[in-house]
Structure formats: C-alpha cells, structure tokens
Amino acid sequence: MNAPHLPKVAGIDSTVPPPAHTVPPAAPVPEAPGAPGALIQDRLAGWVSDLTTLHELTERLSRTATLDEALNEVLRAGAALVGARRGLVVVEPADGLGPDTTVGLGFARADLGYLETVPRAATAYGRLLEASAAGTPLAEITEIAQPDLFADETFDPRHREVARRLGYAASYALPLATEATGGVGAAVWLYDEPAEPAPRRRHLIGLYVRYAAEHLARLVEFTRARTTVATLREELLPSRLSRVAGVQLAARHRAGARGGGDWYDALPLPDAALGLSVGSVTGSGPSAVAAMGRLRASLRAYAVMEGEDPVAVLSDLELLLRLTEPARSATALFAYCEPALRKVVLAGAGHSPPLLVGERRTEFVETSLSAPLGMLACWEAPSVEIRPEPGETLLLYTDGLLHRTGDAMDRAFARLHAAAASVPKAAREDPGAVADHVLRTVLPEGIDGAAGRDEDVVLLAARFE
C-alpha cells in the first residue's frame, strides 16, 4: 500500500514513505533504440540482487539467539546497506520496562561514553526515542538523514565538539519499532565525510530494519523472561551460606538458559549439626523454579525434624512430591553432618554420588543405587556413613556439571575425578578455591560454555577442619 507524504514530527524527516514493492520504482530511463529488452533485464537483475542481499542478511539475523548478538548483527548489516563505517544502536523499549542497552560499531567504550555527554534531543537517535516514548504514532516516526552535520546551523555546539573529536560528519538514523509492541529503540549510522544513502539503499535498509525490529522485540521479551526467572531463582536459593564450627562452605551455581530447577542448601541443625542438600527438579522455566522452591523449603522443614535420619527426610520429601507434584520427578541428596566428630551420614535418590577430595585420597562416596523421587510408589534406600579426615573436602553437585562436558556419563565422571585429584595443595585449604579449580578443569570452555548450555550447574563444597 502506497502511503502519502507524512507530516514532520519534532524535526523528524517524514519525506520517505514506505514503498509497496520490493524495490522503489525507478525513474524512467530512455530505452536504447533496438534494445527494449536490455533495460528490463537489467532492472530484473537489480531486483534479484536486492532480494538476495536482503534474504542473506535477514537469515543471519534470525540465527542470533541473544539481544547483544542481534544488535551487533543489525549494526553490521545496516552499515553495509547504507555504506557507513560506524554506527550506534540504542535499545529503550517505549513501555519503560527495559532492558536498556547501547551497542556501538567502530567505537571504543570510551567513545560511547563521550557520545552520551551530548544532549539526547541534539542527536538523531535521541529524537526518534523521544518521539516513541511520547506516544507518537508509529507511521509518523521515520528516518532522519543529516548529510552534512557541520553545515547545519542548528547543530548543537556540544554535538559539534563530539563529532569533530570522533571524526564523523554525517548521520542516518532509523527507528526500531513494531505495530504490536511500539518503540524498541533506534539505530544511527555515521559517515566520516558528508554523505547520505541513495534512495535504493534507503529502501533496502528500511525493509531490513522492519524485520530487525520484530526480531529485537521478541528478544527483548525473552530477555525479560530470563531475567525474571533468574531473579526468582536467586531469591529461592540461599543468599549466603551458614557458618558452622568445624566446617567451611562454598557454593557455585549457574542457571541454564531456560532456567532449570537445581538447588543447593546448607542448614544449621540442633546440636551443632549441619544439613547439606543438592537436588534437581525435572523441567525448566518458571514452573520448574517454583517446584524447586517448594521442595527445598519442605526439605528444610523435614531436616529440622528428623535430619539425623537422611532416609526419613528423603522419604517424606518423596511422599510430598508424589502428592503435590504428580507429574514431576526429582533427584536429591541429603547429608547430615556432625563437624565436631567429622561424621557424615547421607542418602541419595537417583543422584550422582558425592566426591571426597583430600591429600591422600580422591574418591566417590559409594551410595546405593536408587530411583529418583516420584518414580516409585514408595522410595527407600539405605544411608551411608563416611568419616572425612581433617582437611578433606566433600563435593556435592548436580548432574548438570556432568552434562555440560558434552561427554558420555562414564567419561564425565572420569573427568570430574581427574579434576578433583589435580587440585593444587595450596588450594585445598579453601573450599571455594577447590570448587573453582574443579569447574575450570571439568569445563574448559567455562561455566557458560556452549556444550549443554541449557543445564544448570550446582557445586557445593564442604571442607572439614
């Protein structure tokens, strides 16, 4: 649908209406005598070239999975389409719910900070953002082309100073907005010399930015959801570990991309005892996080009442899970520790065995093979008692640590054992240093590595004095 020329809004140039076709109609060109088909072929070839370019760029953008990746791709693609070398994209959703972020192309971090000293209303992207925040109809927020900044008598003095320092003389800005969500942000590309994109380039970047705005709006919603789940998880897990005489504690935790249901806990118990637990609820997302919170809270209550009997604690937890979460299962491990006696009694339900790390031994604790909670009509497995020596560290972890290696389970266990055995002697005095060494060795790509990114990772270390 061809749109008429739109009125200017707050200095926004509305002289370029959105075209109805893939490319803007070309100006009439006199046909060469005797060759009427040559012009048509050239024009068709140009259309095909434009469509191919647009398809390749949108395909690359569609493969981005995070907001930062998408913003960098938009800047690179836009720079190629408008013929610029540098650019800036600012994300500020019009609903004010965030996330707010700024990404630059061809700028150092200090340069971005210098740009932020320019009054917002003096920049092209700032006027686009202000128009969006003020509720200006989407159809009235169009491009802003400034082909020669220094020839503009209204150019802000501060902006002039920054432009001279950073070495740009022209800009071309476009809004990032959708009909469904409204304004998402704005993008601006900067030229080293006075310049502006040709009509054909303007048309292509306009089509690309419309698609990019839809993609960015989806990623904004995804980022908000992830932030909400992460905040909920952090509130449900302990903000700090308890201090109990005779034992030092450290925990490392990282949620997967979808927000899983892994937990850890360290609970002081009567008679100077300590309860340690790790576990994992099936599923992902907010519902799994909520189920994890309920199970962890219930386990704490059972531990206070009958913590000296880990089998009874897990049996009660299994009954609760079966009655209140019949569609879920969970793995769990609970250990009742008496630090003064260096005595640990533990039981596990479908969970990986803990690892005891010391100067003279590094070995997995032999636990009975048992089913996860909620898988059998009645769960029960015998407990195991161990006696850590002074200076030894007990490592409790969830299966996510093994899955993120990308190896088969037997090789993952071997990698974990080798990592624990290689802890330097100086690091064995600090359970946090032990945990960090194990994570660095087991996951060479880091805790945020690509392999098994959806898996949560929990590692709880308890060093006995």
Residues 174 and 318 occupy one common structural domain: no
Q: Are 393 and 463 a contacting pair, CB within 8 Å? A: yes
The reported pLDDT for the residue numbered 18 is 42
According to DSSP, the residues that pair with 275 across neighbouring strands are 267, 336
Q: Kindly state whether residues 58 and 162 are assigned to the same domain.
A: yes
Structural tokens at position 210: 């419309």
Which CATH number goes with the domain that contains 174? 3.30.450.40
Average pLDDT over residues 69-90: 95
For range 276-292, the mean pLDDT? 87
Tell whether the model's pLDDT for residue 160 goes beyond 50.
Answer: yes
**Average pLDDT in the 247-254 region?**
92
pLDDT of 371: 87
84 domain residue, yes or no: yes
Cα–Cα distance, 307 to 290 (Å, whole number):
24
Bridge partners (DSSP) listed for residue 278: 264, 333
1 confidence band (pLDDT: 50, 70, 90): very low
Kindly state whether residues 64 and 211 are assigned to the same domain.
Answer: yes
Reported as a pLDDT band with limits 50, 70 and 90, residue 30 is low
Q: Which two tokens stand for residue 113?
A: 């900070």
Give 181-240 as a 3 state SS string. CEEEEEEEEEECCCCCCCHHHHHHHHHHHHHHHHHHHHHHHHHHHHHHHHHHHHHHCCCC
Count up the domains in the chain and report the number.
2
Mean pLDDT, the chain, integer: 86
Beta-carbon neighbour count of residue 297 at 10 Å? Answer: 12
Pairwise CA distance, residues 359 & 227, whole Å: 41
According to the model, what pLDDT value does residue 447 have? Answer: 63
Q: Which residue has the tokens 């839809």?
A: 214
Q: What is the pLDDT of residue 315?
A: 92
Confidence tier at 255 by pLDDT (50, 70, 90) = confident
Residue 334 has pLDDT above 90, yes or no: yes
- Selected residue with higher pLDDT from 43 and 245: 245
CATH number, domain of 246, equals 3.60.40.10
- Whether 27 shows a pLDDT value over 90: the answer reads no
Q: Over 60: is that where the pLDDT of 379 sits?
A: yes
Per the domain annotation, does 15 fall within a domain? no
Q: Tokens at residue 406, please?
A: 């990308």
pLDDT band at 13 (very low <50, low <70, confident <90, very high): very low
Distance CA 454, CA 405 (A): 12
The token pair at 242 is 């308890």
Same domain, 223 and 243: no
Find the domain containing 340 and state its range: 239-464
Flag whether pLDDT at 369 surpasses 60. yes
Residue 208 lies in a domain: yes
Statement: residue 231 has pLDDT above 60: yes
- Residue 421, pLDDT > 90, answer yes
- Tens digit of pLDDT for each residue in 125-145? 999 999 888 888 877 888 999
Do the Cβ atoms of 57 and 74 come closer than 8 Å? no
Contacts of 162 (CB under 8 A, 6+ apart): 114, 115, 117, 118
More confident residue, 88 or 16: 88
Structure tokens at 429: 């005095």
Q: Is the pLDDT of residue 45 over 60?
A: yes
Lowest mean pLDDT among 1-10, 60-69, 391-400: 1-10
Which single residue is written with the structure tokens 């380039």?
201
Predicted confidence band at 450 (pLDDT cuts at 50, 70, 90)?
Answer: very low
CA 249 to chain centre: 28
Do 284 and 395 belong to one domain? yes
What's the CA gap between 245 and 111, in Å, rounded? 52
Name the 3-class secondary structure at 116: coil
Last residue within a domain, chosen from 162, 193, 228 = 228
The pLDDT, as a whole number, for residue 38 is 77
Kindly state the DSSP code that residue 66 receives in the 8-state scheme.
S
Residue 316 confidence (pLDDT) above 80: yes
Quick one: tokens of 233? 């998880």
Q: Is 59 a member of any domain?
A: yes
CB-side neighbour CA atoms (13 Å) of 448: 1
> Does 197 score more than 90 pLDDT?
yes
- Indicate whether 395 belongs to any domain: yes
The pLDDT, as a whole number, for residue 310 is 94
d(CA 403, CA 66): 22
Check whether residue 196 and residue 303 sit in a common domain.
Answer: no
245 is a domain residue: yes
Residue 9, pLDDT above cutoff 60:
no
CA distance 176 to 181: 11
Q: What is the mean pLDDT of residues 62-87?
A: 94
Q: Determine which helix (DSSP H) or strand (DSSP E) holds 343, and give its type and residue range.
A: strand 343-349
- Answer with the one of 173, 202, 228 that is the final residue of a domain: 228
Number of C-alpha atoms within 13 angstroms, CB side, residue 98? 9
Question: Are 220 and 244 in the same domain?
Answer: no
> Are 293 and 169 in a shared domain?
no
| Element housing 403 (H / E) | helix 400-403
399 CB burial (10 A radius; 0-12, 13-18, 19+): buried
Instruction: Work out the percent of the chain whose per-residue pLDDT is above 90.
Output: 61
Write down the pTM of the prediction: 0.61
Contact 374, 322 (CB under 8 A): yes
Same-domain check for residues 289 and 179: no
